[in-house]
Amino acid sequence: MRDVKYLDEQYRIGEGMISDGAFKQLEKLFVPVDPEAEYFNQKNKKLLPKLAKENYKEFLKSLLTKTRLSIQPKIDGCAIAIRYIDGNFNKAITKKGLDVSSKIKQIKNVPDCIPIKRDFQIRGELYATNQVAGISQRITRKYLNKKGIGESLRFCCFQILNGRLNQYETLNYLKKCGFSTPESYFTNHTSEIQIYKINWLERKIFAKYPTNGIVIKINSRKLQLLREKSLSQNNEWQYAIQK
């Protein structure tokens, strides 16, 4: 494959705490939270965004030449959003807005504190390790419904809901904040997406996760926002590719 960047090898993410100077820089990279349009206020009834699943080939055709894309595993579990305020765990919700804070705080790889001193909202997937898709989701749902234990569950974080960072930078900062992030590839060639799909089906990539597909995302946050606000048919910036 041409121009393939494997995040944990070619683009190794730094570890450790973020410096005080970096804190100030990060302040500029997050948008203020609108009380009338934020996911953690149940009165607003705003649900977490869904992944588009139809006509991904049309999506690829709609992109400009050499639009940079990320390829990530579509982990089969339960979507979770977590809010941190002044660096401390504040609240966790499901994609339907159900408060599951007490359950998520028990997950081993979810940090109690992070080195970001402001309102910081992230999204990821709670899943069962060493399981296949389907079973992972059932185990996760059972745990969130207070009918199971979370010993085998892990949280994989892949999005800053109130951020201006591109995909690569997002994964970088999430890792520095102590979150587990997904294996990710980057390419400027839409023709390679089919190769990634085949590699996933053959378990050459993303084999350590319970997956039911791969997710392709536009890397640029600017382009993501432009497409979200577009009134045209091509207003999606991330797509799930399944069997």
Q: 198-216 pLDDT, tens per residue?
A: 999 999 999 999 999 999 9
pLDDT value of residue 152:
92
CA distance 47 to 180: 23
Is 186 inside a domain boundary? Answer: yes
| Eight-class DSSP state of 151 | T
Q: Is the pLDDT of residue 146 over 90?
A: no
User: Confidence band (pLDDT; 50, 70, 90) for 225?
Assistant: confident
Spatial strand order in the sheet of 78-85: 88-94, 78-85, 120-128, 153-160
Is residue 137 domain-resident? yes
**Could you give the CA distance from residue 121 to residue 33 in angstroms, rounded to a whole number?**
9
Average pLDDT over residues 38-47: 80
- CA 243 – CA 212 distance, rounded (Å): 8
State the Cα–Cα distance between residues 228 and 51, nearest whole angstrom: 13
pLDDT band at residue 15 under the 50/70/90 scheme: very low
Q: What is the mean pLDDT of the chain?
A: 85
Indicate whether 80 belongs to any domain: yes
Give a yes or no: residue 84 inside a domain.
yes
Q: How many domains is the chain built from?
A: 1
Q: Cα(185)–Cα(189) distance, rounded to whole angstroms?
A: 12
pTM for this model (two decimals) = 0.86
Helix (H/G/I), strand (E/B), else coil: 211: strand
* CA–CA gap between residue 33 and residue 90 (Å, rounded): 15
**Residue 136: inside a domain:** yes
44, part of any domain: no
* Phi (first) and psi of residue 168, to 5 degrees: -65, -45
Residues 113 and 116: their CA atoms lie apart, in Å, by: 9
Residue 16 is assigned to a structural domain of this protein: yes
Instruction: State the pLDDT at residue 156.
Output: 98
What gap in Å lies between CA 91 and CA 161, rounded to an integer?
A: 14
* Residue 43 forms part of a structural domain: no
Q: Are 197 and 73 in contact (CB under 8 A)?
A: no
User: Which of 19-33, 174-188, 203-217 is predicted least confidently?
Assistant: 19-33
CATH assignment of the domain containing 63: 3.30.470.30
For the chain, the residue count is 243
The Cα 150–Cα 224 span in angstroms is 34
Torsions phi, psi of 128, nearest 5?
A: -95, 130
* Strand partners of residue 6: 185
Print the domain residue range for 12: 5-33+51-241
Residue 77 has pLDDT above 60, yes or no: yes
Residue 32 — pLDDT band, cuts 50, 70, 90?
A: low
Q: How far is residue 104's CA from residue 137's CA, in Å, rounded to a whole number?
A: 15
Residues with Cβ within 8 Å of 107's Cβ and at least 6 positions away in sequence, in order, are 126, 150, 153, 154, 155
